[in-house]
Amino acid sequence: MQGSLFVLEEPTQGLPERQGQAAVRSIRARQILTRANGSLEGYDYSLNPYSGCGFGCAYCFASFFQDSQDRFESWGSWVEAKENAVELLRAKKDLLGKKIFMSSATDPYQPIEAKCGITRGLLETMVEPGRQPRLVVQTRGPLVARDIDLLKRLKYVRVNMSITTDSDEVRKQFEPGCASIERRLEALRQVKAAGIPTTICILPMLPLEDPERFAKTIRDSGFDFAAAGWFHHSDRAFAASTRDTAWKVAERLGWTRTEYQRTLTALQRYLPSLNCGRGFAPA
């Protein structure tokens, strides 16, 4: 199967807009766990079941980690599925208690996961006795609710769901491949109702229609932690940063750092624990 190319010719039923239209290729990876560094302080490893991401968010700085200009520029239109991911994780003998962040450079619940189930296979390996890591799942994908049965079997786990705006119109401009806000909220409610700790990540925060209503909606979801932030930005050459596409959309919508600060203050009136700093700590 290595190198085989298959394109999902039609969007998966029930998925909005562009979801499910990335070209997907199956590859054999050399490793599945990467030593954590930089912003993943406190973690042992990051775990990326895929390279590339079918969600294709305009602001995604993971695109800067690509080794060619072509892969950078076509970010969102290609995905590599690591067909031997489970095999590699099974070969890791000292998984117990390791602090793992899944994922830092892709989304473990992007559309192709519904078909190939690599993330689910990894969770099946993690729940085995004597192998349980401390896992944080970072996603924009409502498909995470499919795996509640496995997530519940992990002793230390948290699901971080990114919900960046309350406007589906804004969402379509920055995150054309992602599920609606309501579907993400509903998935998060299901995860929380199953007794699994959650974080809502308003990251990067995008323009909001009604900060007060959004804050109350988030509050009612019963989250454990909430985090918010401005676009990731670096002045250093070749460093990961927000893509120009996103800056252009932000400019068109009048979304400035000042507006972000004002909105953050409005949210904090109803969410005083916003940015308590624990939303990204290991589970």
Nearest 5°: the CA angle 164, 166, 167 is 105
Contact call for residue 56 and ligand SF4 (CB under 6 A): yes
Q: Which stretch binds ligand SF4 (CB under 6 A): 25-33, 48-56, 184-192, 266-274?
A: 48-56
Whole-angstrom Cα distance, residue 57 to residue 233? 15
Closer residue to ligand SF4, CB minimum distance, 95 or 122: 122
> By CB under 6 A, which span of 38-46, 52-60, 89-97, 111-119 interacts with ligand SF4?
52-60
What is the 3-class SS of the chain, one letter each residue? CCCCEEECCCCCCCCCCCCCCCEEEEECCCCCEEECCHHHCCCCEEECCEEECCCCCCCCHHHHHCCCHHHHHCCCCEEEEECCHHHHHHCCCCCCCCEEEECCCCCCCCCCHHHHCHHHHHHHHHCCCCCCCEEEEEECCHHHHHHHHHHCCCCEEEEEEECCCCCHHHHHHHCCCCCCHHHHHHHHHHHHHCCCCEEEEECCCCCCCCHHHHHHHHHHCCCCEEEECCCCCCCCCCCCCCCHHHHHHHHHCCCCHHHHHHHHHHHHHHCCCCCCCCCCCCC
**Binding status of residue 245 toward ligand SF4 by CB under 6 A:** no
**8, 33, 36, 62: which one binds ligand SF4 (CB under 6 A):** 62
Among 33, 57, 118, 203, binds ligand SF4 (CB under 6 A): 57
CB of 129 to ligand SF4, least distance (A): 32
Total interface residues for ligand SF4 by CB under 6 A:
9
Stretch that binds ligand SF4, among 56-64, 150-158, 208-216, 275-283 (CB under 6 A): 56-64
Residue 198 interacts with ligand SF4 (CB under 6 A): yes or no: no
User: To the nearest whole angstrom, how small is the minimum distance from the Cβ of residue 251 to ligand SF4?
Assistant: 20
We find the least distance from the C-beta atom of residue 267 to ligand SF4, in angstroms, to be 21
Interface region with ligand SF4, contact rule CB under 6 A, candidates 5-13, 51-59, 225-233, 240-248: 51-59
213 bridge partner residues: none
CA distance 189 to 196: 10
Binding status of residue 60 toward ligand SF4 by CB under 6 A? yes
Contact, 283 vs 228, CB < 8 A? no
Q: Of the two residues 18 and 192, which places its CB atom closer to ligand SF4 in the complex? A: 18
Residue 144 interacting with ligand SF4 (CB under 6 A): no
Does residue 140 touch ligand SF4 according to CB under 6 A? yes
Window 91-130: residues binding ligand SF4 (CB under 6 A) = 106-107
In degrees and rounded to multiples of 5, residue 27 shows phi and psi of: -130, 160
Does the protein bind ligand SF4 through residue 49 (CB under 6 A)? no
Q: Least distance (Å) from ligand SF4 to the CB of residue 241?
A: 13
Kindly indicate which of the ranges 55-63, 85-93, 152-160, 190-198 contains the residues binding ligand SF4, using the contact rule CB under 6 A. Answer: 55-63
Note the residues at the interface with ligand SF4 (CB under 6 A).
53, 55-57, 60, 62, 106-107, 140
